[in-house]
Amino acid sequence: MSTDLDTICRELADAGVATVYEAAGRQGMVDVELQQIVPGTRVAGPARVVACAQDDNFAVHRAMSVLQRGEVLVLAMPEPRAVGLVGDLLITQAKVRGAAAMLVDAAVRDVDDVRELGLPVWTRWVRVRGARRTDPGDLDVPVELGGQPIRPGDVVVLDRDGAVVVPQAGLPGVLDATRARLAREARMRERLLAGELSYDIHGLREIHEEREFHRQDEKERSPR
Ligand SMILES: O=C([O-])CC(=O)C(=O)O
Ligand SMILES: [Mg+2]
C-alpha cells in the first residue's frame, strides 16, 4: 500500500465512519448490524475482496497468499449466513501478513482468541458452525454487503458505528469534505460547550415559532 493511501486511510479512520459517511453525501453505508470483535478499534484500508462460495472458506485460505499489508479483507458469500468463515487460525495469518482489518458478512468463531490477537474484526454473526473447504470461490471481484457494492481497492472505513465504503475515484473529494466537516464540527462543539443550542444555531426555533404563529392564525380565522 502506498504511503499516500496509508496516510489518507489513517485520516479517514480517525475521522470515523459517521463523519466520512456524511462527508460522502450520505453514501457508502454498509446497511447491516455489525459486531466489533475488538473494542475500541477504528481502521480504514483498501478492500481485498474475498467472494466465498456458499458456506465455504476455501477462498479465505487462498486470500491469505495474496493479501498485502494494510488491506481490509472483505469476506462475502452469495447468501450471508451464520457460518464461521474465520477463527483464530485464519485471523492469525491475516495479522502476520499485516492486514488492517477484516469485515465478515458471515460468522466469526474463537472470538476470545481473536480479541487477544487484536486484529480488528467486524462480523455479522458470532457462531461456531464450521465452513466447508471445497470450492475455491473468487478473489478480487465486486461483491455487495448490506446493500453496498464493494469493489477491490475501494476504501473501507470501520469503527464502532459499522462500516462505510469510499470508492477509490471518490477518495480525494471525500477526504476534502471530511476535513471540512471535522473543522465545522469542531467549531460547533465549541459553541455547544459554551452553552449554545443546536436548536438555535440551525434556526429551528425560528422555524418552529413561525409555524406555531401560522397555526394559531389559521385556528383564529377558521369558522367554528
Ligand atoms: O478453520 C476454520 O475453518 C475457521 C477457524 O476456526 C479458524 O480459522 O480458526
Ligand atoms: Mg478455529
The domains of the chain are located at 3-178, 195-224
Q: Do β-strands 101-108 and 155-159 pair in parallel, antiparallel, or remain unpaired?
A: unpaired
Please name the fold of domain 3-178.
Glucose Oxidase; domain 1 (3.50.30)
Ligand 1 pocket member 88 (CB < 6 A) = yes
- Bridge partners of residue 139, in order along the sequence: 50
Ligand 1 pocket member 93 (CB < 6 A) = no
Task: Give the atom of ligand 1 at the shortest distance from the alpha carbon of 84.
Answer: 4
- Count of Cβ atoms closer than 10 Å to residue 66 Cβ: 12
What are the E-state strand segments in the chain?
35-36, 43-51, 72-76, 84-86, 101-108, 121-126, 138-139, 143-145, 148-150, 155-159, 162-166
Burial of 5 (0-12, 13-18, 19+ CB in 10 A): middle
Give the global pTM. Answer: 0.94
* Gap from CA of 89 to ligand 1 centroid (Å): 6
Task: Give the atom of ligand 1 at the shortest distance from the alpha carbon of 133.
Answer: 3
Task: Tell me what ipTM this predicted complex has.
Answer: 0.98
DSSP tag of 152: T
Digits of tens for pLDDT over the chain (224 positions)? 777 999 999 999 999 999 999 999 999 999 999 999 999 999 999 999 999 999 999 999 999 999 999 999 999 999 999 999 999 999 999 999 999 999 999 999 999 999 999 999 999 999 999 999 999 999 999 999 999 999 999 999 999 999 999 999 999 999 999 999 999 999 999 999 999 999 999 999 999 999 999 999 888 888 66
* Gap from CA of 90 to ligand 1 centroid (Å): 6
Of 1, 149, 137, 119, nearest to 56 by C-alpha is 137
